[in-house]
Each structure stands twice: as C-alpha cells, then as structure tokens.
Amino acid sequence: MDAKTIAWLSYITIIGWIVAIVQHSNMPQKSSLAVFHLRQSFGLLITWIACYIVGIILVIATLGIGSIFLWILYLAIFVLWILGLISAINGEEKPVPVLGDLYQKWFTFIK
C-alpha cells in the first residue's frame, strides 16, 4: 500500500485508521505524508469523541437546548474531516484549519 492510499484511508472510519496505521507500520520506509494524515485523522477522531462527551453533558444540563450547539460542533468537525480527506487524496500535507498544527504537536507518538 502506498503512502497516498494510507493517507486517505486513515480518514475512513476508525477501522480504516487502524488498517492504515498497521500498513504504515509494516512499510520499510516511513512516509511523511502517511504520518501527517494519520495524526490529522486521529486528532479529528479524538476531537469528535471529546465533543460527544461534552455535548451529552451540555444537552442534559440544558434540558435539550444544547443539542443545537452540539450539531453545530458536529458540522464543524465534519467540514474539517472533509478538508483533511481532500488534502490526503491530493497528496498534500495541509493541516486542517484551527487544530491541524496542534494535532501534529500533540500526536508525535504516531511515527
């Protein structure tokens, strides 16, 4: 599997990310493109999980009114996911807006 395939596959569900990281680990020569997008997609996954947890608390605390805010967050994460996927398909190392540079700093354990 080449680096570009690993890059876009990492955005296709958690199973796609696991397949991509395993394939990347088995590559004799590591690709910066694959590592970049593995970090970006992992960051988006963690962000989605965090928003889900915070969102559930918010919805309960506001008796359902917070669900509007929750859907806005989900839409924003979806847009970031699409931008990351497009970047991976084009073979670019372009971070997702707002959080992409932070993902590269935080998830250095993905090599």
Task: Output the 3-class SS for the chain.
Answer: CCHHHHHHHCCCHHHHHHHHHHHHHCCCCCCHHHHHHHHHHHHHHHHHHHHHHHHHHHHHHCCCCCHHHHHHHHHHHHHHHHHHHHHHHCCCCCCCCCCHHHHHHHCCCCC
For the residues 63-80, what does the mean pLDDT come to?
89
38 pLDDT higher than 90: yes
Are 88 and 10 a contacting pair, CB within 8 Å?
Answer: yes
Instruction: State how far the Cα of 102 lies from the Cα of 111, in Å rounded to an integer.
Output: 16
Q: Judge residue 76's burial from the number of C-beta atoms within 10 Å of its C-beta, 0-12 exposed, 13-18 middle, 19 or more buried.
A: middle
CA-angle at 97, arms to 5 and 75, nearest 5°: 85
- Per residue in 74-99, pLDDT tens? 999 999 999 999 999 999 999 999 99
pLDDT of residue 6: 92
